[in-house]
Amino acid sequence: MQVLSIYDKDISELKKCFNSDAYGNIKKLPSDKSWEVTAQESLVLKRDMAYELGGGMNKAISSIAFTTSRECVSDDGVYLMGEDLQDIKEDISYARFTFIRLNESYIKDIQEKNAEALHAALRAVDYVRYHNFPKGYMMRISSVKEREPVRVSKQAIADGMTFSHIGSEMINAYRKRKEVEAVQIYFLTSKTADYELLYDKAHRIEQITDSLNHMFNGLVMDCSSCKSRELCDEIDGMKELHKNLSSI
């Protein structure tokens, strides 16, 4: 079994959600815009921020899923449902989903030869999100709390920052990895979006990633004692994948 196919169903289901009437008009934004990216995190203090995406009691959702399927991720793209950064005036609920297509031959080759190398490749791509710092756009990522509020500075808004700029720079960062063939980023600020449902979807994707990490790190075959047992029972191919990885 190809390891990354376990995300495909969730990517497809999320895209169906995004195209439903409840999420409003989905807009494809330019993905070739540039914005200054700093070497270290762009600190935005409260007094300097225009607003915070996902601030306060608002939802702040983020998740990343991988695939090798062109059907799931055909090409690069930045998409928006809701208001763009220039139109937002206050703290609101926010979500960002990133879908990344990796080179199938490369993944298949290292999967067959070395589980540790495969794990390292996936983690390296995943870690890109923690090392991308658009100036005036401070992502406060908490993988433990599964939240990603973002402080946007007044100066960035004055300078014309949009999601197109942010998405383009994120894609550029991911595309520097040789394994990455295409990246699609979906930003949601829509007031009609079902953020509870989106959280559940994001949580499930993170559970899949956590389960993969567990398999790569431990490769314990005692399913009765594994914390990922329920997820393995639910997702087609997860147990098969676990057995395949344990034999590498």
What is the per-residue pLDDT across 181-235, written as a single tens digit (0 to 9) for each? 999 999 999 999 999 999 999 999 998 888 887 777 765 555 665 665 666 666 6
pLDDT at residue 45 is higher than 60? yes
Give mean pLDDT, residues 37-59.
95
Dihedral of CA atoms 106, 13, 209, 97 in degrees, nearest 10, equals 90
Mean pLDDT of the chain: 88
pLDDT at 246 over 80: no
| Closest among 207, 233, 231, 228 to 218, alpha carbons compared | 228
pTM of the model as a whole: 0.90
CATH of 3-246, one of 3.40.50.150, 2.60.40.1180, 3.30.499.10, 3.30.1650.10: 3.30.1650.10
Tokens of 54: 């996902």
Distance from C-alpha of 217 to C-alpha of 175, rounded to nearest angstrom: 26
